Amino acid sequence: MKVDPQQLIDDGYVVLRQVVPPDQLETLRTSFETLVEKQKVVWARERKPEEKPGGVWTTSAQPRVFFDEVVDADTANTVEFCLHENTLGVSQQLMRAPDAAITLMALMCNPVQDHGPASWHRDIDPTGQAPLKGMQMDYVKNGPGYVQWNIPLYDDRVFWLVPRSYCRPNTPAEHQHLLTRPQEPMPGGIPIELSAGDGVVYSHMGLHWGSNYSTKLRRTVHLGYRAFGGDSYPIVDHFYWNMGFTQHLPTEARTRFEHFFQLQQQQSDVIEATFHAIRNKDAEGFRDGLAKLHPGEEERMVAVVFLSKLADKVRKLKDPEVSKLSIEERIGAISAHRLNFHLYEDFSERFSAEAAENIWNRFSTLYEKIDAEIAQSVPDRTSRVMRYQLIDMPANFEVEDFIQNW
């Protein structure tokens, strides 16, 4: 399957027909239904005291199965589909990357009772990642480092988006819509009508919407892929899986995931060396590491902001008080997800507490500048909509200015 990467840059999404080969659709439906039944057992067992019997399955508006957690040898075709030329191969084409890896494997399901529409949103948090315009211009100028998919196994028109909204801030009208009518159709929004087996690949930075979480049968494969070696540093640079699940996969598929993990470890090696260069005030070492992480010369400062967020996570994880917390509390302390936390914890083991503190301090001027912008533009940090208002990168503060402030 051949695609035009420019279409993703122009529109922020690409619709593709028969992403699921027709001769695989029924077998994939059967395998995914097996995984749903296995996950329902887990949810029933793990339900919280205040939840109905069945737990997540009976309470969530969109039960989501991370299917690598329940896959077995008989259902390995679900994971193999994520490695197909129509998914991984197309993602690599769109990202124009020497290599690509899967970050997320999930199945979105219908609820057991009508929940109606969700709220319009972007799948980003500029206050926790980087200012909105920085991430957007990096994407436009250097190409995507991450792409996201919806692939329904049954006809689906739940997903809506606003074309081209991924590369600009919210308009004043959109901002008010998100604040006052977030669950209503948005001017400029369009439904993405997909037949069973079709797919939409899109920028998760764009405005999008789950228009109706009804009881109509829904089994939509939700995937994420990141680039390795592309011109930008991916917004999503981590995996929501670990190698343990690959024991259930055929040798060829397992080998692919071993390769993905090796790529991630190689990236971690580069970041570690880059952090030590920052600590040692080794400007050339830092420039070299940054160029490896973000080969594109334009918008390279966005990668520095991403690195600053990682340095903050490492510092927190090296705090003796944080280390005493439960795993759930440690995950919360660094605003991670239970499925990617292990990568942050493993990476933090590369540094002493003293080194982590030193590295964090090198970013202090950058932290201050971004915090000042947040204070000015984000009146309520608890509001997802308001956090989109962190738009501008720090003015007159580029890579060389960052180095000068060590």
Tell me the pLDDT tens digit for each residue of 51-83: 889 999 999 999 999 999 999 999 999 999 999
Domains held by the chain: number:
2
DSSP 270-337: HHHHHHHHHHTT-HHHHHHHHHHH---STTHHHHHHHHHHHHHHHHHHT-HHHHTS-HHHHHHHTT--
What the block records as the tokens of 60 is: 């969530």
Confidence of residue 110 (pLDDT cuts 50, 70, 90): very high
Residues 82 and 212 reside in one and the same domain: yes
CA 19, CA 126: separation in Å to the nearest integer? Answer: 32
235 has a pLDDT exceeding 90: yes
Residues 206 and 102 reside in one and the same domain: yes
Residues 152 and 24 reside in one and the same domain: yes
What does DSSP assign to residue 202? E
Question: Residue 78: what pLDDT?
Answer: 99
Q: Are 209 and 120 spatial neighbours (Cβ–Cβ below 8 Å)? A: yes
Averaged pLDDT, 285-305: 98
Residue range(s) defining the domain that contains residue 85: 5-262
103's enclosing H/E stretch is strand 99-109
Q: Are 40 and 57 spatial neighbours (Cβ–Cβ below 8 Å)? A: yes
Residues 230 and 305 reside in one and the same domain: no
Rounded percentage of the chain residues whose pLDDT exceeds 90:
99
346's enclosing H/E stretch is helix 341-348
Q: Are 162 and 206 spatial neighbours (Cβ–Cβ below 8 Å)? A: yes
Residues 84 and 170 reside in one and the same domain: yes
Question: Residue 13: what pLDDT?
Answer: 98
Q: Are 190 and 163 spatial neighbours (Cβ–Cβ below 8 Å)? A: yes
Residues 258 and 277 reside in one and the same domain: no
Domain boundary among 247, 262, 277: 262
Question: Residue 51: what pLDDT?
Answer: 86
Residues 43 and 118 reside in one and the same domain: yes
Domain boundary among 262, 287, 314: 262
What does DSSP assign to residue 246? G
Residues 365 and 388 reside in one and the same domain: yes
Residues 216 and 306 reside in one and the same domain: no
Residues 200 and 108 reside in one and the same domain: yes
278 has a pLDDT exceeding 90: yes
CA 319, CA 110: separation in Å to the nearest integer? Answer: 41
Question: Residue 50: what pLDDT?
Answer: 86
Question: Residue 233: what pLDDT?
Answer: 98
* Predicted structure pTM score: 0.96
Residues 60 and 75 reside in one and the same domain: yes
Residues 191 and 279 reside in one and the same domain: no
CATH number at residue 233: 2.60.120.620
Domain boundary among 227, 262, 297: 262
Arithmetic mean of pLDDT over the chain: 97
Q: Are 291 and 272 spatial neighbours (Cβ–Cβ below 8 Å)? A: no
CA 170, CA 386: separation in Å to the nearest integer? Answer: 11
Residue 161 backbone class (left: φ over 0; alpha: ψ -120 to 50; beta: rest): beta
Averaged pLDDT, 163-169: 98
Confidence of residue 223 (pLDDT cuts 50, 70, 90): very high
347 has a pLDDT exceeding 90: yes
CATH number at residue 317: 1.20.272
